[in-house]
Structure 1
Amino acid sequence: MMSPDDQPIEIYAPPVYMPGDKVRSRLTIRNDGTMWGVEIGEIVVRKGDVGYVRDIGTYLQQFYIYAVDFIDRGTVVGMRARELTEPEGVQ
């Protein structure tokens, strides 16, 4: 099923990642104003950073949001599956 903006409704399928999964950021992510204590526009995750999925939530009852703990950065960032990939060598 598609949402009104022609994007698939992700929550009709199982999540791509599960808590504990090791993931890598596909993009550099800047604060869009949703992270407390971080300036808007400040980089919070760099492309290639590795983290671990802590939790899974939803957004607009359509999309999964993965709370990813980027341990080396000391931050947890909410990310969509399309912004993540499995690191090389992970089964």
Structure 2
Amino acid sequence: MTETELLLKGYGLTTAEFFYRMPDHRHVLNSFLWQDYDLAPDHPRLFRFIAFWQSEIEGPLHSVRFAHRRKLASGEWRQVVGEFRYH
């Protein structure tokens, strides 16, 4: 799906910052930034990524913080019928 199609279906940009412990040095925290288009309030893509992290990545998660922003609301989209060019 294109970005515009996702926005029209109600998706918004979700940004998450993951804080995790280094596998070899458990006292050291590192961070990872993740962005994807997701549906609020359930955030299925974010929780799928968290499940993937917990099962496949060696560094255990310390915490996750995220923000969600719908970039396009239903009343903000309009179809343009024509085009006017000025030379």
State the TM-score, normalized to the length of structure 2.
Answer: 0.29
Instruction: Name the structure with the higher helix share.
Output: 2
Instruction: Name the structure with the higher strand share.
Output: 1
Higher relative contact order (CA 8 A, sep 6+): 2
